[in-house]
Amino acid sequence: MNNRYVLSDLVDALVKAGHKRRDAEEFARVFFAQIEEQVFRGDTVKVKGLGLFRLILSGARESVNVNTGERIKIDEHYKLQFLPEAGLKELVNGPYAHLDPIPLDDETAAALAAKTDTVADEPVDDAQPEASSAAAAKPAKAVAAEKKEPVFEVEESQPQDNKKSDKKGTTIAWIIFVLLALALIVYALCSTVFNGDNQGARRARPVVRNEVVTEVPAATTVEQTEAAQPAEQTPAATAAKPAEKAAAAQTAEKTPAAKTAEKAPAAKSAEKAAAAQPAQKEAEKTVASAVDASSWEVQQEITLGQNERLTLVAQKYYGDKVYWVYLYQANRDRIPNPNKIKAGTKIRIPKAPASVVNPKDPASLQKAAALEEAYIKQFASKK
Amino acid sequence: MKENDFLSAVRKETGFSAKLTEQMTRQLVEILSGMLAAGDSLTIHGFGTFELKKKEERLSVNPVSGKRFMIPPKQVPAFRPGATLKERIKNYKGNE
């Protein structure tokens, strides 16, 4: 953190990667010199993975001398513009990647605009004083943990749930936490393909994450139970968000059952968890009734890297991204939530019968699209 | 200008093979992004500095709905030209 590297460090790294020192030196020197050369020739230089460099003309404008208050004219001049690529931006923004814009109501917005100096992180929720300080303290401790945060998701079904949070006292939070643990045990017992814990888990999730950091033994059990799912990697900082929001960001646990159970108060979650499980299974059955890719013969296995998505894999192997649903079906045991898949997850690519997967056949596309919709509903938060 | 054009310019200068140039470029980019992701900066003397910039959270308004949003803080990669390059840019009067 905050190391200042120079060219020779870069060269060292290239040498480490297996190049001759002389080559590495020459290359690094020429690389940057050429960016400069090309830019001054009036070209835009694009480097994959990095971004683009170009000179842009900045028009003449008036300004004031800050010391004398005198008006001065700034002539038009060129500026070197560096536009980082989206991938690099995403990579670099790791510690903050879990944050989403928060819609504000008019009052809070006005209040915030009024006090310009200290802007609370979470104005929407009043149960937040320590939470926002946690958020402020986040970058440092979040960096390490956040690196593991799953990076790719199915773009069609990015959940957004920005309902106002109902605040719970710490006591209730604890109860929820305990109940959640129960729910998880139930889940482990049933070991359904889908995560069975639902509404309770959903509500209590931020709380759990809080514990993950502060209280080791309990957190460990939780983590183990949830080994397959990425949610636990979000650091305590996430708990700083309004409860719903955090939960929405981590819909790993969301099931159709969660929808039905959702309106019930959170504290009752354990019974609900148990009760809701069959319902959820049923719902899943209807979803999967048409086709079930999990029974298809496995053609090959691939490991998902960063920035990969099921849709992209589907596009590559099946010819249309909508067929990601079958990939998901075939890998339900490894993918608790198609919106949040861990980098490094191995997935099976089943051999798809032409009758089901055929990008030229509108009926097959439609079928997949229907499935997709069902899954999106299943995993999306309700608005 | 496409990356290929740029790489061929680099190739011409160094005399390296296309494969080696491509490979080194990928590695260089990877190293650099790794540095940035770790919060470090890389200064190339005579060229400039690649660094991280922290953008504070801010209030924003959706122009269509008029709804206000709190935009969370973020980190962005940035490049700052060095003194030599700045001087050259200052004296640059356009390509034509």
Domain containing B12 equals: 1-40
**Domain shared by B60 and B77, yes or no:** yes
Residue among A297, A295, A323 at smallest CA distance from A309: A323
Q: Is residue A204 part of a domain?
A: no
Structure tokens at A182: 């129960």
Residue among A136, A352, A165 at smallest CA distance from A246: A165
C-alpha A197/C-alpha A199 separation (Å) is 7
CB distance A31–B25 less than 8 Å?
A: yes
C-alpha A119/C-alpha B58 separation (Å) is 9
Question: How many C-alpha atoms does B11 have within 13 Å on its Cβ side?
Answer: 13
| pLDDT at A190 (0 to 100) | 61
**Domain shared by B22 and B64, yes or no:** no
Burial of A45 from C-beta contacts in 10 A (0-12 / 13-18 / 19+): buried
Q: What are phi and psi of A285, to 5 degrees?
A: -60, -45
Residues of chain A with pLDDT > 90, as a percent, come to 1
Say yes or no: A55 contacts chain B, CB-CB below 8 A: yes
Of A13, A96, A106, the CB nearest to B31: A13
CB distance A96–B43 less than 8 Å?
A: no
**Domain shared by B50 and B85, yes or no:** yes
pLDDT mean over A367-375: 82
CB distance B89–A31 less than 8 Å?
A: no
- The residues that bridge with A83 in the sheet, in sequence order, are A52
Say which residue the tokens 């923004």 belong to. A93
Of A46, A47, A78, the CB nearest to B92: A78
Interval B46-73: pLDDT, tens: 889 998 888 888 888 888 888 888 888 8
Which CATH number belongs to the domain containing residue B93 in this structure?
A: 4.10.520.10
Of B5, B16, B92, the CB nearest to A55: B92
**Domain shared by B50 and B96, yes or no:** yes
CB distance B79–A53 less than 8 Å?
A: yes
Structure tokens at A370: 């229907």
Do B70 and A104 touch, CB atoms closer than 8 A?
yes
Burial of A129 from C-beta contacts in 10 A (0-12 / 13-18 / 19+): exposed
**Domain shared by B60 and B93, yes or no:** yes
Residue of A nearest to B95 (CA): A42
A32, A371, B4 from B28: Cα distances, Å: 11, 43, 16
State the DSSP H helix or E strand holding residue A102, giving kind and residue range, or none if neither: strand A102-104
Is this complex scored with an ipTM above 0.90? no
Window from A79-88, A139-148, A307-316, A362-371 with minimum mean pLDDT:
A139-148
Q: What sign does the CA torsion over A82, A85, A90, A94 have?
A: negative
Interval A54-98: pLDDT, tens: 888 888 888 888 888 888 888 888 888 899 988 888 888 877 777
Say yes or no: A333 contacts chain B, CB-CB below 8 A: no
Q: Classify B53 as helix, strand or coil.
A: strand
Domain count, chain B: 2
Say which residue the tokens 């030196």 belong to. A25
Interval A154-198: pLDDT, tens: 444 334 444 334 444 567 777 777 777 777 776 777 655 454 444
Domain containing A310 equals: 293-379
CA A295 to chain CA centroid, Å, is 30
Say yes or no: A89 contacts chain B, CB-CB below 8 A: yes
Residue of B nearest to A30 (CA): B10
- The residues that bridge with A54 in the sheet, in sequence order, are A81
C-alpha A114/C-alpha A120 separation (Å) is 12
Q: Report the amino acid identity of residue A263.
A: K
Say yes or no: A216 contacts chain B, CB-CB below 8 A: no
Residue among A273, A78, A83 at smallest CA distance from A192: A273
**DSSP code of residue A75:** P
Say which residue the tokens 């080696």 belong to. B20
Q: What are phi and psi of A63, to 5 degrees?
A: -145, 180
**Domain shared by B58 and B79, yes or no:** yes
Angle A171-A175-A177 (CA atoms, 0-180°, nearest 5)?
A: 115
CA A364 to chain CA centroid, Å, is 30
Q: Is residue A354 part of a domain?
A: yes
Domain count, chain A: 2
Do A21 and A15 touch, CB atoms closer than 8 A?
yes
Window from A32-36, A44-48, A160-164, A278-282 with minimum mean pLDDT:
A160-164
